[in-house]
């Protein structure tokens, strides 16, 4: 089969499309013929060699995909073969075939295309986990979403809109801000040229926000942490600011991390605020939570208030360009890579 292989850690150019053997089914797994890949920033981090538990190269990256079940392990009863599924794997989906544990494979609703299914699970789950489960967002609360026009960002805007929150959104261009606004963000800030913290303080008359969804970190974290109101919750689920255009620049990464100084826990008590980190990719032993959360976001989809937003589609032959497009901040919504016909 054809697969995109990370040949060494580095920029997008370290990936090569190669002929490799089919993956072998293990206990509890299904083999899926991949139809569409949903690109995630975690795929960039894996290629750079900074994602937790990334194997040494060569390896096939790829977290999210949709496709058809073509074989099932003897101990699997959830699928019989031929079902359309969307999946969330740690690695391996930048390929024509991928093996996956059944707990991380979800049946695709009839009304969803392969492209939409590949763009749905990781973004919807991350937004749901951060906003609903950890963030406990309530109607009328104020929420700040960073990188709001990205894959997870737009899912977060849609879920927060349905809850009835007041949404403050940041993004890196006017076009991206317009997109976040179209999906329901109330206040828009280009954080590359606006002091969003000063603006939010002014608009809220010093109150700040009740919840922050931060996937950027670095200076953005430093400015946003001080915006948390009493009983505020800070959700840190990414640090995209540590990356640049190509291979990892360790100095830039160190500078970004140094702006997220350790927090002294007792200070959280007197300030009445908290911080929660999450990484769905390293969450283990929570299979039933994963399937319950997937059911919940599929209900949101059925009810029409959470839609996968596909910003860009690339053919598999251009997967290196697709990675570069994501890493260099050119994308909005989700990037989908089509595999075969």
Ligand X SMILES: NC(=O)c1ccc[n+]([C@@H]2O[C@H](COP(=O)([O-])OP(=O)(O)OC[C@H]3O[C@@H](n4cnc5c(N)ncnc54)[C@H](OP(=O)(O)O)[C@@H]3O)[C@@H](O)[C@H]2O)c1
Q: Is 131 helix (H, G, I), strand (E, B) or coil?
A: helix
Among positions 285-314, residues that touch ligand X (CB under 6 A) are none
Q: How far is the CB of 182 from ligand X (least distance, A)?
A: 15
Q: Which stretch binds ligand X (CB under 6 A): 25-33, 78-86, 88-96, 274-282?
A: 274-282
Select from 29, 40, 54, 89 the one that contacts ligand X (CB under 6 A): 40
Total residues at the site for ligand X (CB under 6 A)? Answer: 29
Q: Which stretch binds ligand X (CB under 6 A): 76-84, 108-116, 118-126, 156-164?
A: 118-126
Judged by CB under 6 A, does residue 215 bind ligand X? yes
Tell me the C-alpha to C-alpha distance, in Å, between residue 270 and each of 206, 231, 263, 327.
18, 11, 13, 39
Judged by CB under 6 A, does residue 278 bind ligand X? yes
Bridge partners (DSSP) of residue 96 are none
Bridge partners (DSSP) of residue 98 are 32
Q: How far is the CB of 51 from ligand X (least distance, A)?
A: 8
CB-wise, 121 or 339, nearer to ligand X?
121
Judged by CB under 6 A, does residue 279 bind ligand X? yes
Judged by CB under 6 A, does residue 216 bind ligand X? yes
Site mask, ligand X, residues 135-154, x = CB under 6 A?
A: ------------x-xxxxx-
- The answer for residues whose C-beta is within 8 angstroms of residue 245's C-beta and 6 or more apart is 11, 327, 328
Q: Which residue is nearest to ligand X (CB)?
A: 150
Q: Which stretch binds ligand X (CB under 6 A): 94-102, 131-139, 297-305, 323-331?
A: 323-331
Site mask, ligand X, residues 231-260, x = CB under 6 A?
A: ------xx-xx-x-----------------
Q: How far is the CB of 125 from ligand X (least distance, A)?
A: 8
Q: What are the residue ranges of helices labelled H in the chain? A: 41-48, 114-118, 121-128, 151-163, 174-182, 196-203, 219-225, 250-258, 265-271, 287-303, 319-327
Name the residue with tokens 């909005």. 332
Q: How far is the CB of 215 from ligand X (least distance, A)?
A: 3
- The answer for residues whose C-beta is within 8 angstroms of residue 239's C-beta and 6 or more apart is 215, 216, 217, 218, 256, 257, 260
Which residues of the chain form contacts with ligand X (CB under 6 A)?
A: 40-42, 122-123, 126, 147, 149-153, 171-172, 176, 215-216, 237-238, 240-241, 243, 278-281, 326, 329, 331
């Amino acid at each position: 089969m054809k697969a995109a292989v990370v040949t060494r850690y580095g920029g997008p150019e370290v990936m090569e499309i190669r002929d490799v053997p089919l993956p072998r089914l293990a206990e509890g797994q299904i083999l899926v013929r991949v139809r569409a890949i949903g690109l995630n920033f975690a795929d960039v981090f894996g290629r750079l060699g900074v994602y937790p538990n990334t194997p040494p190269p060569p390896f096939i990256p790829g977290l999210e995909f949709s496709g058809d079940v073509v074989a099932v392990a003897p101990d699997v009863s959830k699928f019989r073969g031929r079902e359309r599924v969307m999946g969330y794997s740690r690695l391996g989906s930048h390929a024509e075939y991928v093996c996956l544990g059944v707990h991380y494979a979800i049946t695709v609703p009839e009304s969803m295309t392969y492209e939409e299914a590949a763009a749905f699970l990781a973004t919807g789950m991350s937004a749901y986990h951060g906003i609903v489960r950890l963030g406990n967002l309530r109607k009328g609360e104020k929420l700040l979403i960073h990188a709001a026009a990205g894959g997870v960002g737009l899912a977060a805007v849609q879920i927060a809109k349905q809850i009835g929150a007041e949404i403050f959104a940041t993004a890196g261009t006017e076009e991206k801000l317009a997109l976040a606004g179209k999906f329901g963000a109330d206040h828009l800030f280009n954080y590359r040229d606006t002091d969003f913290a000063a603006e939010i303080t002014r608009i809220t008359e010093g109150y700040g926000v009740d919840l922050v969804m931060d996937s950027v970190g670095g200076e953005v974290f430093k400015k946003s942490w001080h915006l948390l109101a009493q009983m505020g919750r800070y959700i840190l689920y990414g640090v995209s600011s540590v990356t640049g255009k190509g291979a990892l620049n360790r100095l830039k990464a160190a500078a970004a991390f140094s702006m997220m100084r350790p927090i002294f826990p007792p200070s959280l008590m007197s300030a009445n605020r908290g911080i929660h980190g999450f990484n769905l990719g390293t969450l283990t032993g929570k299979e039933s939570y994963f399937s319950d959360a997937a059911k919940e976001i599929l209900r949101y989809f059925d009810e029409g208030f959470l839609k996968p937003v596909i910003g860009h589609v690339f053919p598999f032959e251009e997967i290196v360009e697709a990675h570069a497009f994501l890493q260099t901040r050119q994308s909005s919504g989700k990037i989908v890579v089509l595999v075969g016909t």
